[in-house]
């Protein structure tokens, strides 16, 4: 079904296909749950109307991105996501939120520029349609631009630093923006442009390696992080790496499948984290939280279901999508290094999930807990309902209903046992990490993984420091150098000298100059008369 209206040579269209409608339905379900959740979480917010306006603008931008098949007009949704996400991240107007918003905006601007460049390439084809379109010619840089633009939006290496920093936004924003909308826009762009990418014979092997590195990077950071929301952000980053891995090995439909399933249980996980934070006087330190089963049992049940689905345990939604992608990765003709990285990423996912669940739910720490008792609101329970059902049965339902989502490959028993062994290995490593790590070694490991292998420093402090150093050089050399001499200071000096000469001329030296002028003129006339 296509709706078109045209006022110029550029058509604006909405395309309703199976994948787009499915994804949009998931976004709207999550949005409805977030609206109920905000009635409780943002109940004492002074500017609640402004907040809801920004959220609805964000959802509208995402709907435009999903339904518009034209790469030029798709920028309406793409840029709308960037602008509204910046406003939502800086909503609290603090120094930290402003820094996080700037990193988010600047990283996303790279993708915006690349989309404009790709639009220029498609102009050579006489159309900007990206759905079921076969190019007349091959453009080597077109596929590269689309993929890198999607990597910036979905925080793949080396553009991963902005995602954990964006957790400065309110928790309902994180539940919507960082589960099913902004971060998944890059994955959906590749899904929408798959025909163009395959027509250009794009080599996906580098992106396979980068996606697995993203999974390991996020998993390593999550096992040492103590901020509750950032751990969930790292888990989102890890799952985005799984989706890009599925795209890079050619299973585009399964990437969309995991995108929809992940959006449901990750939004539920963010909401339960928000309940923990809100009920603990804003405390986000994992070391100061615990005994969640006693304080908010309904939220803890939903949290555990979300974590089980995140790990891909049987009978959960994530089992039908994530495990299938892992099995396809094992069966694909990839190198041993990529298979090893895939299994390491699986171990890290189990590891940080076990750590997260045990510390928040059971409180297996020696720290004092933030004991603030608060009954769970009925609004929160209503918001949980649809997402909880989706986290349990969405994988099975979509696999049965949607054509192309049901798997047709089978792995051997050894591969099944190998995947289970990874979970047991993660549990063992989590236990020994408490007892056998030397303090100095542990501090170095924590710093290395917590800084995302130094990516935070390079993306934020290093680039910011480099920019400040360059601006200082520009200020001293240009602003206070030749530009100042030619500009204001030079003009002031020139007029000063001219004024001095004018004062001297109009003073008592004027008569002498006049006499000299007359003598020179008489001399010139005398010489001319002799010549004639």
User: Residue 26 and residue 321: Cα distance in Å, rounded?
Assistant: 15
Q: How confident is the model at residue 365 (pLDDT cuts 50, 70, 90)?
A: low
pLDDT of residue 65: 85
Average pLDDT estimate for 31-35: 85
Q: Of residues 512 and 309, which shows the higher confidence score?
A: 309
pLDDT > 90 in the chain, percent:
0
Q: Of residues 318 and 484, which shows the higher confidence score?
A: 318
DSSP alpha helices (H): ranges in 42-139? 48-67, 74-89, 95-123
> Which of 337, 340, 341, 332 has its CA nearest to residue 157?
341
Q: How confident is the model at residue 228 (pLDDT cuts 50, 70, 90)?
A: confident
**pLDDT digits over 38-55, tens only?**
877 776 777 778 888 888
**pLDDT digits over 285-321, tens only?**
777 776 666 777 888 888 888 888 888 887 788 888 8
> Which of 474, 394, 463 has its CA nearest to residue 103?
463
> In this structure, what are the phi and psi dihedrals at residue 5, rounded to the nearest 5 degrees?
-145, 140
> Which of 203, 180, 233 has its CA nearest to residue 394?
180
> Which of 335, 114, 347 has its CA nearest to residue 209?
335
User: Residue 320 and residue 471: Cα distance in Å, rounded?
Assistant: 52
User: Residue 449 and residue 444: Cα distance in Å, rounded?
Assistant: 9
Asked if the peptide bond before residue 144 counts as cis, ω within 30 degrees of 0, the response is: no
**pLDDT digits over 432-482, tens only?**
665 555 455 556 666 666 666 666 666 655 555 565 566 666 666 666 665
DSSP state of 167: G
The residues, any chain, with a CB within 8 Å of residue 339's CB and separated by 6 or more, are 329, 330
Q: Tokens for 52, please give them.
A: 């809801």
Average pLDDT estimate for 79-90: 83
- Beta-strand pair 12-15/2-5: antiparallel
pLDDT of residue 131: 66
**Lowest-confidence range among 4-13, 42-51, 508-517?**
4-13
pLDDT of residue 366: 47
pLDDT of residue 2: 39
**pLDDT digits over 145-183, tens only?**
888 888 888 888 888 888 887 777 777 887 887 776 788
Average pLDDT estimate for 218-222: 85
pLDDT of residue 220: 84
pLDDT of residue 471: 65
- Listed as own residue / partner, the contacts of 396-399 with beta carbons closer than 8 Å and 24 or more positions apart are 396/317, 396/320, 398/22, 398/257, 398/260, 398/261, 398/320, 399/257, 399/320
What's the CA angle centered on 57, arms 52 and 58, to 5 degrees? 100
Query: What's the whole-model pTM score?
Result: 0.78
Q: How far is CA 171 from the centre of its chain?
A: 16
DSSP alpha helices (H): ranges in 179-281? 185-192, 194-199, 205-222, 228-248, 252-278
Q: What is the mean pLDDT of the chain?
A: 76
Is the four-CA dihedral 448, 347, 157, 201 of positive or negative sign?
positive
User: Residue 461 and residue 449: Cα distance in Å, rounded?
Assistant: 17
Is the four-CA dihedral 191, 192, 198, 204 of positive or negative sign?
negative
- Contact status, residue 405 vs residue 398, Cβ threshold 8 Å: yes
């Amino acid at each position: 079904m296509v709706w078109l209206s045209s006022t110029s040579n550029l058509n604006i269209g909405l395309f309703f296909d199976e994948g787009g409608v499915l994804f949009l339905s998931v976004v709207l379900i999550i949005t409805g749950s977030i609206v109920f959740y905000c009635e409780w979480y943002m109940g004492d917010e002074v500017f609640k109307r402004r907040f809801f306006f920004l959220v609805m603008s964000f959802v509208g931008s995402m709907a435009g991105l999903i339904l518009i098949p034209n790469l030029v007009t798709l920028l309406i949704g793409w840029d709308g996501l960037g602008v509204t996400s910046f406003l939502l991240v800086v909503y609290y107007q603090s120094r930290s939120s402003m820094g996080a918003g700037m990193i988010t905006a600047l990283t996303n601007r790279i993708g915006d520029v690349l989309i404009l460049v790709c639009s220029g390439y498609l102009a050579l084809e006489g159309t900007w349609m990206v759905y079921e379109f076969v190019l007349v010619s091959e453009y080597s840089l077109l596929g590269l631009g689309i993929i890198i633009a999607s990597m910036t939006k979905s925080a793949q290496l080396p553009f991963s630093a902005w995602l954990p920093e964006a957790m400065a936004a309110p928790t309902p924003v994180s539940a919507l923006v960082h589960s099913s909308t902004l971060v998944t826009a890059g994955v959906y762009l590749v899904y929408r442009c798959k025909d163009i990418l395959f027509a250009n014979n794009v080599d996906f092997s580098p992106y396979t390696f980068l996606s697995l590195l993203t999974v390991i990077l996020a998993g390593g950071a999550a096992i040492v992080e103590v901020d509750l929301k950032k751990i969930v952000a790292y888990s989102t980053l890890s799952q985005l790496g799984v989706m890009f891995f599925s795209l890079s090995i050619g299973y585009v439909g399964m990437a969309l499948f995991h995108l929809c399933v992940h959006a449901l249980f990750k939004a539920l996980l963010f909401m339960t984290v928000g309940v923990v934070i809100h009920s603990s006087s804003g405390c986000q330190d994992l070391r100061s939280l615990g005994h969640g089963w006693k304080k908010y049992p309904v939220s803890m049940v939903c949290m555990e279901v979300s974590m089980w689905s995140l790990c891909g345990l049987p009978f959960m939604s994530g089992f039908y999508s994530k495990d299938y992608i892992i099995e396809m990765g094992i069966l694909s003709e990839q190198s041993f290094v990529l298979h090893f990285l895939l299994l390491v990423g699986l171990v890290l996912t189990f590891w940080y999930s076990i750590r997260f669940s045990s510390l928040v739910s059971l409180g297996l720490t020696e720290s004092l807990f933030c004991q603030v008792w608060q009954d769970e609101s009925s609004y929160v329970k209503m918001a949980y309902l649809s997402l909880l059902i989706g986290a349990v049965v969405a994988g099975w339902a979509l696999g049965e209903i949607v054509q192309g989502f049901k798997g047709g490959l089978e792995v051997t028993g050894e591969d099944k046992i190998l995947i289970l062994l990874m979970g047991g290995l993660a549990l063992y490593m989590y236990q020994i990490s408490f007892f056998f790590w030397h303090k100095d070694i542990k501090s170095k490991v924590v710093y290395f993984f917590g800084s995302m292998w130094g990516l935070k420093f390079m993306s934020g402090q290093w680039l910011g420091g480099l920019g400040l150093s360059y601006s200082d050089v520009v200020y001293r050399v240009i602003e206070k150098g030749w530009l100042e001499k030619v500009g204001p200071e030079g003009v002031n000096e020139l007029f000063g000298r001219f004024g001095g000469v004018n004062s001297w001329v109009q003073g008592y030296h004027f008569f002498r100059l006049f006499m000299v002028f007359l003598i020179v003129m008489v001399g010139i006339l005398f010489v001319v008369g002799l010549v004639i």
